[in-house]
Amino acid sequence: MTTLAGLLIAMTIGLTGIGGGVLTAPVLLLFLGMPAPQAVGTALVFVAIVKLFAAPMFIVRKQVNYRVLALLLAGGVPGALLGSFFLTQLHKQGSSGLMLTLLGLIIVSSAGANFLRKNGTERHAQDKSKRLPWVSFPIGIEVGFSSAGAGALGSLALMHWTMLSSAEIVGTDILFGLALSTAAGTMHLSAGGVDTEVLRWLLAGGIPGALAGAWLATVFPTKMLRKGLAVWLICLGVNLCYRGLTA
């Protein structure tokens, strides 16, 4: 069951571009019954490893803008570490209801951001990339706290604050998400917040799933699939909010 979940999640990442964190954490929380910190930590490490297999392709194709990536990481990495610390402290205080509610709200907002993503190449005339550290800092906090947000919110920031092409947005955002997942996942791992057994089963399906998704994306129409998946994620987020408010 866990291996199948890893396969389907990784294939969805390759097909739709929706980040694995916003998919993995709700599945671990709602269907496997994992505690929130473990679900988030396990999701972060899983996403980091899956994206590690995809990143070289974008580097070889020269679809990564390293100046913009550095600006994103300047705010994103400290934010991811802070978000991880915040989640750990809430867990220590036994605030499970608050954790679930916040996670649900973050997942709903991150999934909703996918409806704002544009498929065209329209860009703003002015480059505002110097402001990216201030934009990426709250995104990093969200990733560290919930494992969600790097994909949808990162690409939105790049579309609205830079002059990058569509290909550069995807490649730069993949490496941005990889760095945030690695930083926050390492912090969760050091705090014992990763279920290594579940992680192994997820990766057994996730690695081949990532390769299959990357291939299917070239032949499969993904626009409607992305919208349908975003609706499903919003439903999962609302479910988490409900559970948190009634805890």
Lowest mean pLDDT segment, chosen from 40-44, 173-177, 235-239: 235-239
Q: Tens digit of pLDDT for each residue in 187-221?
A: 888 888 899 999 999 999 888 887 777 677 667 66
Domain that holds residue 59: 2-245
- pTM, rounded to two decimals: 0.80
> Quick check: helix, strand or coil at residue 183?
helix
Q: Tens digit of pLDDT for each residue in 81-116?
A: 999 998 888 877 777 677 778 877 877 877 777 666
What is the distance between the alpha carbons of residues 132 and 197, in angstroms, rounded to a whole number? 37
137 touches 153 (CB < 8 A): no
Give the length of the chain: 247
Task: Work out how many domains the chain is built from and give that number.
Answer: 1
Phi, psi for residue 4 in degrees, rounded to 5: -65, -40
